[in-house]
C-alpha cells in the first residue's frame, strides 16, 4: 500500500482554503497535516474538506494563533492532542492509522508546530525563545516520542529549526538568527537522536544540496531570485518505517501563489505492507 502524507504550515486555513484545495487536487495526499491553522475547532472549514473527500479530522485549534490539524481520506484508529511546557497553545495532535485504513500494521503520525522563538536569540531577555528551547527539550525527553524498534511512526510539521549548514541560504550569516542558532540546532538534534528518528528529507536529498521549505514575507518581490530560504518543515521517520519512505517532494511553486503562506507543502510517500 502506498501512503502519501503532506505537511504544510498554511498560516490561516480559512484565509487560504482555496490554495489548500488547489494543492489537494494536484497532489492527492492521503493525509494532510496543517500547522498555524489559526482557527478554533468549531470554525474549521470541515465542509470544504469533506467535499474534497477528506472525512476524517483531528483538530487542535484556537482563535487567531497557532493550531494544528490532521485531515485524512482514511479513517483513524485513534487520535489525541497533547500540551507541552504546561501551555494549552495548540501545537500538537497525533493519529493512528491501522486496519480501518487498510494497513496490516499500524502507524502513528505526529503533527507538531514548534514555537518560532521571536527575534532575539537570548532566553534571558526573550521569553518566546526560552519557550522554544524548553519545548525542544521536552520533545527530546518525552518517551512517548521515542518509538520502540518495531513501532511505525512518522513525525512531521513546522519544527521552526533549520538544523544543518545547508538548510539555510548562508550558514555564516544565519548563526545568530533564530531558527539556526547553535543552541537550537543542538536541541533539535538531541530530540531527533533521543527518539531514534531518521531525518527522511535529508536521506533523500543529502547535504551539501540546499533544501528549503520557507521564504520570508520580507522578500515578496524577489524571493525566488534571492532564494534566501530555510528548511523549517520536517519529516522524521522511526527506524521501523524509515526505509519505506520512497519519495519526498517540496512544492516550491506554492510560495509564488497569490496570497501565499511563507511555507510550502512537503509530501512523503511511504510504501507500506
For residue 218, name the pLDDT band (cuts at 50, 70, 90).
confident
Domain that holds residue 171: 2-271
Beta strands in the chain (DSSP E): 2-9, 31-35, 56-60, 68-72, 78-80, 92-97, 107-113, 152-158, 198-199, 214-215, 229-230, 233-237, 245-250, 266-271
DSSP tally for the chain: helices H, then strands E: 8, 14
Query: Residue 205 has what pLDDT?
Result: 98
pTM: 0.97
pLDDT of residue 112 exceeding 80: yes
Do 110 and 154 meet the contact criterion of CB atoms below 8 Å apart? yes
CATH code where residue 28 lies: 3.60.10.10
pLDDT of residue 220 exceeding 80: no
Mean pLDDT of the chain: 97
Query: Residue 59 has what pLDDT?
Result: 98
Q: How many domains does one find in the chain?
A: 1
For residue 223, name the pLDDT band (cuts at 50, 70, 90).
confident
Q: What is the pLDDT of residues 121-143, one digit of tens each?
A: 999 999 999 999 999 999 999 99
Q: What is the pLDDT of residues 11-38, one digit of tens each?
A: 999 999 999 999 999 999 999 999 999 9
Query: Residue 133 has what pLDDT?
Result: 98
Mean pLDDT of the 100-111 span: 97
Amino acid at each position: 500500500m502506498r501512503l502519501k502524507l503532506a505537511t504544510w504550515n498554511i498560516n490561516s486555513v480559512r484565509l487560504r482554503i482555496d490554495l489548500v484545495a488547489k494543492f489537494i487536487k494536484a497532489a492527492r495526499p492521503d493525509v494532510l497535516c496543517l500547522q498555524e491553522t489559526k482557527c478554533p475547532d468549531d470554525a474549521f472549514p470541515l465542509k470544504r474538506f469533506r467535499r474534497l473527500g477528506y472525512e476524517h479530522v483531528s483538530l487542535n485549534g484556537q482563535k487567531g494563533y497557532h493550531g494544528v490539524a490532521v485531515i485524512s481520506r482514511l479513517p483513524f484508529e485513534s487520535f489525541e492532542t497533547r500540551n507541552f511546557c504546561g501551555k494549552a497553545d495548540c501545537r500538537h495532535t497525533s493519529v493512528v492509522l491501522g486496519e480501518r485504513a487498510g494497513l496490516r500494521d499500524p502507524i502513528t503520525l505526529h503533527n507538531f508546530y514548534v514555537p518560532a522563538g521571536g527575534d532575539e536569540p537570548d532566553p534571558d531577555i526573550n521569553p518566546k525563545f526560552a519557550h522554544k528551547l524548553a519545548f525542544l527539550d521536552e520533545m527530546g525527553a518525552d518517551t512517548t516520542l521515542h518509538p520502540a524498534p518495531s513501532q511505525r511512526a512518522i513525525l512531521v510539521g513546522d519544527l521552526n529549526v533549520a538544523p544543518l549548514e545547508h538548510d539555510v541560504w548562508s550558514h555564516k550569516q544565519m548563526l545568530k538568527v533564530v531558527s539556526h542558532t547553535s543552541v537550537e540546532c543542538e536541541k533539535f538534534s538531541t530530540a531527533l537522536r533521543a527518539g531514534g528518528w531518521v531525518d527522511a528529507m535529508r536521506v533523500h536529498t543529502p547535504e551539501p544540496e540546499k533544501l528549503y521549505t520557507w521564504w520570508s514575507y520580507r522578500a515578496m518581490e524577489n524571493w525566488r531570485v534571492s532564494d534566501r530560504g530555510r528548511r523549517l518543515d520536517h519529516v522524521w521517520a522511526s527506524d521501523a518505517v524509515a526505509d519505506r519512505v520512497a519519495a519526498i517532494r517540496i512544492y516550491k511553486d506554492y510560495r509564488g501563489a497569490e496570497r501565499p503562506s511563507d511555507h510550502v507543502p512537503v509530501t512523503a510517500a511511504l510504501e507500506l505492507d
